[in-house]
Each structure stands twice: as structure tokens, then as C-alpha cells.
């Protein structure tokens, strides 16, 4: 038999074996979910400029490929909680706490449309719409930084799903997507410190106003920022949109106290929970920092 022919046969066999191994690596439920909802994700991308790969990956992850209780019974494919602005159907479900309020939809399409609207009207996600539609990694990491999920590996999990199932190919079908329309006349700019999203308060801001803008309970904002409900926000206050960390990010290890500093302002500056700042420095609530004091940040 011709040697060249044998080589060709061996090559074809190798390709077949690789293809079989690759297909076995893929979860059949994931493949079925993508086939079912990819067109809907592309439709949302064309209308709202959210990468279809991101929408599909979030749907897969949040709904367990459509098999979660929230997805099956309430058509909630993205784990979106009620929030103060939601007036539709609701359902109780255990998540970070027992019996939390989640949105319920008539069908999956309504869930997909509300997911797009949720991201577009959320000022903390506004910076994402400046990214290219094919930058799925930027979107995944931005969603995590903006506080979409508490899972520290959320961004990496989205990226892995997108690459394992080649979801990025759907981002190339964007067509001529319209520019997003501003949802607020003068939204707050969202910044990142210690991998946590925050805003700078302006004169006239209130916890309730910020809570409504970012679809977060105003009571949670008070708690996240180690403040009390009667505190009056002032221009320049740092307000975190999710819970602060137990320690500062690297390389912030030590802080030298300056004039006007307090334990609270330092905790806000570095995104550290106030009680943890006291604890790591072996101080109690009566301690008042003095100029030149050295405080551990991690």
C-alpha cells in the first residue's frame, strides 16, 4: 500500500479522535442551551450592545444551563434579584441569605430582555458599554468588578465557558448596533478600589437616591460603608456599592496617618471594613489615629 496514503489515513484518524475527545469534553446540556438561546442573545446584542457571548455565558452559569429552580419555575436565567425598582412578579429563593426576593418572568425571552435592561440602566455598568463588542474578557472582568456576582472567580468562569464553547463567534454577528442611550441625565461615575466598585457622593446625594440609581437597597449601602442611617452624605464621600474587603490590595501594606485622617476615612480610602482595620492593628473603637501613626492595611 502507498506510504503516502497510509500517512493520510493516519492523519484523518487522528483528527477524528481529537474531534471526538473535544466533543466529549463539552457538556451536552450546555450545547443544547446555546443552540436554543443563541439567536435571542444575538438579538439582544444588536439592540443593546451587550456581547452575545457574555449573555450566553451568564445564562449558562446563572441558570445551570436552564436547569436551576429559578430558571425552570420562574424563567429567571440570570439570577437577578428584585431590587427596589422591580414591580413585576417575584419568587423567594435561597441565595446569599434564606428566602431572598428574585424576579419571575413569563418566559425566557422576558428574562433575556430584562437582563439587557438591567445592565443598561445600572450606572455602575455604564463603563462596560465603552468596550468593544468582541472584548468578552473585558466585559467578564468588568461585571465582576461592578459587583454583578459575589463569586471571586466569576470572571474567569465566564471566560472559560466562552472559550470552551466558542461563544465568541456570536459576537461577530453584531451588525450595525446602535449606541446605547443614556438612562440618567447625570449618572455617577463608577470607580474601582480594592477590586470594589464605588462612587463619589455629590452635594444633595442621599442613600435612598444612590440606592435607586444603582438598584441597591439603601440600607445595604449604609452597611457596606460602615455608616449609620441618619448620616448625611457630603460632597466627596466615597460610597462603595458592595461590601468592602477584610484587607487592602497589594502593595498597600502600611499607611502613615496624615492630618485630618480618621479610621473611617482610611477604611474608605483602601476599601477595608472598618472593624477589620481596627482588628489588624489591635485597636478598639476608642482609638483615634494621630499624625505619624503607622497602620497596617493587610
| pLDDT tens digit sequence for 268-284 | 999 999 999 999 999 88
Does the structure show a pLDDT above 60 at 47?
yes
Q: Are 74 and 81 in contact (CB under 8 A)?
A: no
Superfamily of domain 191-240: LysM domain (3.10.350.10)
pLDDT score of 17:
41
Helix ranges restricted to H, 50-122: 52-63, 69-74, 108-121
- CB count, 10 Å around CB of 192? 13
pLDDT score of 260:
81
Does the structure show a pLDDT above 70 at 19?
no
Does the structure show a pLDDT above 80 at 57?
yes
pLDDT score of 151:
82
Q: Are 80 and 118 in contact (CB under 8 A)?
A: yes
Does the structure show a pLDDT above 50 at 98?
yes
Q: Where are the beta strands (DSSP E) in 187-247?
A: 191-193, 196-200, 238-240
- State the average pLDDT over residues 256-261: 86
pLDDT score of 13:
43
- State the average pLDDT over residues 93-111: 85
Residue 119 CB burial class (10 angstroms; 0-12, 13-18, ≥19): buried
Q: Are 187 and 123 in contact (CB under 8 A)?
A: yes
Q: Are 148 and 57 in contact (CB under 8 A)?
A: no
When pLDDT is cut at 50, 70 and 90, the band that residue 204 belongs to is confident
In this structure, the strands spanning 254-256 and 100-103 are unpaired
Q: Which residue has the higher pLDDT, 5 or 113?
A: 113
pLDDT score of 288:
83
- CB count, 10 Å around CB of 205? 19
pLDDT score of 180:
43
* Biggest alpha carbon–alpha carbon distance for the chain: 90
Does the structure show a pLDDT above 90 at 178?
no
Domain with CATH 1.10.530.10 in the chain: 11-69+117-173
- State the average pLDDT over residues 129-151: 89
Domain with CATH 3.10.350.10 in the chain: 191-240, 254-296
- Looking at CATH, the fold of the domain delimited by 11-69+117-173 is given as Lysozyme (1.10.530)
Does the structure show a pLDDT above 50 at 198?
yes
One of 3.10.350.10, 3.60.40.10, 3.40.50.300, 1.10.1740.10 is the CATH number of 254-296, namely 3.10.350.10
pLDDT score of 26:
67
Q: Which of 115-129, 167-181, 196-210, 220-234 has the lowest mean pLDDT?
A: 167-181
Mean pLDDT of the chain: 83
User: Closest by alpha carbon to 85, among 184, 242, 220, 213?
Assistant: 213
Torsion of CA 281, 287, 292, 293, to 10 degrees: -20
Does the structure show a pLDDT above 60 at 289?
yes
When pLDDT is cut at 50, 70 and 90, the band that residue 152 belongs to is confident
In this structure, the strands spanning 238-240 and 191-193 are unpaired
Amino acid at each position: 500500500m502507498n506510504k503516502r496514503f497510509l500517512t493520510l489515513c493516519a492523519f484523518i484518524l487522528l483528527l477524528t479522535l481529537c474531534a471526538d475527545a473535544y466533543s466529549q469534553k463539552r457538556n451536552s446540556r450546555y450545547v443544547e442551551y446555546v443552540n436554543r438561546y443563541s439567536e435571542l442573545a444575538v438579538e439582544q446584542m444588536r439592540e443593546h450592545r451587550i456581547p452575545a457571548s457574555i449573555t450566553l455565558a451568564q445564562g449558562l452559569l446563572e441558570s445551570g444551563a436552564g436547569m436551576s429552580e429559578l430558571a425552570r419555575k420562574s424563567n429567571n436565567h440570570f439570577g437577578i434579584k428584585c431590587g427596589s425598582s422591580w414591580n413585576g412578579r417575584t419568587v423567594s429563593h435561597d441565595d446569599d441569605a434564606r428566602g431572598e426576593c428574585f424576579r419571575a418572568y413569563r418566559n425566557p425571552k422576558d428574562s433575556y430582555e430584562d437582563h439587557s435592561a438591567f445592565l443598561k440602566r445600572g450606572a455602575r455598568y455604564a463603563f462596560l458599554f465603552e468596550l468593544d463588542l468582541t472584548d468578552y474578557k473585558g466585559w467578564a472582568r468588568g461585571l465582576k468588578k461592578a459587583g454583578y456576582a459575589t463569586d471571586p472567580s466569576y470572571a474567569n468562569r465566564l471566560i472559560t465557558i466562552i472559550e470552551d464553547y466558542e461563544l465568541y463567534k456570536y459576537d461577530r454577528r453584531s451588525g450595525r448596533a446602535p449606541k446605547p442611550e443614556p438612562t440618567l441625565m447625570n449618572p455617577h461615575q463608577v470607580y474601582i478600589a480594592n477590586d470594589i466598585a464605588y462612587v463619589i457622593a455629590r452635594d444633595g446625594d442621599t442613600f435612598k437616591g444612590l440606592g435607586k440609581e444603582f438598584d441597591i437597597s439603601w440600607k445595604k449601602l449604609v452597611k457596606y460603608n460602615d455608616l449609620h442611617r441618619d448620616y448625611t452624605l457630603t460632597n466627596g464621600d466615597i460610597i462603595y456599592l458592595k461590601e468592602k474587603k477584610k484587607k487592602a490590595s497589594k502593595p498597600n501594606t502600611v499607611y502613615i496617618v496624615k492630618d485630618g485622617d480618621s479610621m473611617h476615612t482610611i477604611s474608605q480610602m483602601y476599601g477595608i471594613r472598618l472593624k477589620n482595620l481596627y482588628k489588624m492593628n489591635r485597636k478598639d473603637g476608642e482609638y483615634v489615629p494621630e499624625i505619624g501613626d503607622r497602620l497596617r492595611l493587610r
